[in-house]
Amino acid sequence: MKIFNEVILAKELIKFPSITPTDAGVMRFLEKKLKKLGFKTKIIEFREKNFKPVKNLYAKLGNKEPNFCYAGHLDVVPPGNINDWTINPFKPSIKNGYLIGRGANDMKSSIAAFVSALSTFLNNNNNFNGSISLLITGDEEGDAVNGTKKVVDYLKKRKEKIDFCLVGEPTNPNKLGEMIKIGRRGSLTGKLKINGVQGHVAYPHRANNPSTTIIKILKELKDLKFDKGTKDFQPTNLEITRINIDNHADNVIPGTAEATFNIRFNNKHSSKSIKKRLNKIFKRICKKNKSNYIIEYRVSGEAFLTKPNNTTYMIQNIIKKITKIKPKLSTTGGTSDARFIRKISPCLEFGLVGKTMHKVDEAVSLKDLKNLKKIYQNILQEYFK
């Protein structure tokens, strides 16, 4: 059976300029590799109005239980100014023990490490007792509308059971082995618009300045103490990300003022309970200031925690054995596709070091890549023991 080298495969994947949600042929390429290992594959394209179509891949080997799934994404963020890179971001290069290229860190190298580990595992365990699947999306870095979320719905309809899922996101802050993610905070974005009455600055009694109202609201939002955190989660935090008053004259009181904020919340709250609390603030302050408001919310995910089980501790022990570091079980960081997968399967996240993700000259240590392959191979070995 074909054994894939993790470095060669990572380089091949990076060569595809699969800037979200563009596929650039990378999904078909990976599909062919998995077919060589005996996988049954399906590329599923989802479309939704006002969003670009996205290709996703679900591949499975075997039909027995348990089904161990690896999840990841082949889309990458834009490279930015290519002149700032020391190489062409889609012509990967090895320098001083590092593989450089867009997606080297987040997260094409992780996918390469898993497929390489898988090829070695299958070469030694042709008749393992269970099944292995891969859920690969092209919409993790973008809107996340036509990606993993819809694949999960597709699998639910087909009554496809996943017993455990390993998401290959770069989870380690500085060194391979530092951190496993067992949950994530929820994320809620609010776009607030305050409508006042436009007028001349010399006659403020004839106007109603919306900036006065929005400043009061934003001050109260920033002073909110949602909670003190929990054993597993950081305290809930609100950040104001944008304030805009589209006014081009210094002698005019504006008619509208807008602001955007984001809240990362722990499992003491739901997006519904937070919205309810915020709406009371908007209503009270606007009523007092004789203004009205429009609020639009977008929820990227609810807070969740996968309670550690035997598989979690098994993976933690394997990581410690190979890296000599006992990984912390954490819920820090942003959102990931685990927020969708956890609805159908217990899952955790473990991948590379995330220091250079989304940066110029994004890179992965060849030593880390080799060790990640070993970790993934050992996980498969132990899981199907």
Residues involved in catalysis: 75, 140
Cα(345)–Cα(372) distance, integer angstroms: 23
Q: Are strands 347-349 and 164-167 parallel, antiparallel or unpaired?
A: parallel
Q: For the chain, how far is it from start to end, CA to CA, in angstroms? A: 21
Residues 6+ apart with CB under 8 A from 131: 60, 61, 62, 63, 64, 65, 66, 67, 68
206 DSSP 8-state letter:
G
Main-chain phi, psi angles of 42, to 5 degrees: -145, 125
CA distances from 195 to 242, 255, 277, 285, 295 (A): 17, 6, 21, 13, 11
CA distances from 242 to 193, 214, 260, 283, 378 (A): 12, 12, 5, 21, 46
Cα(313)–Cα(383) distance, integer angstroms: 11
Q: What is the dihedral of CA 97, 101, 102, 104, to 10 degrees?
A: -30
The closest of 335, 334, 301, 295 to 190, measured between CA atoms, is 295
Tell me the residue type at 141.
E
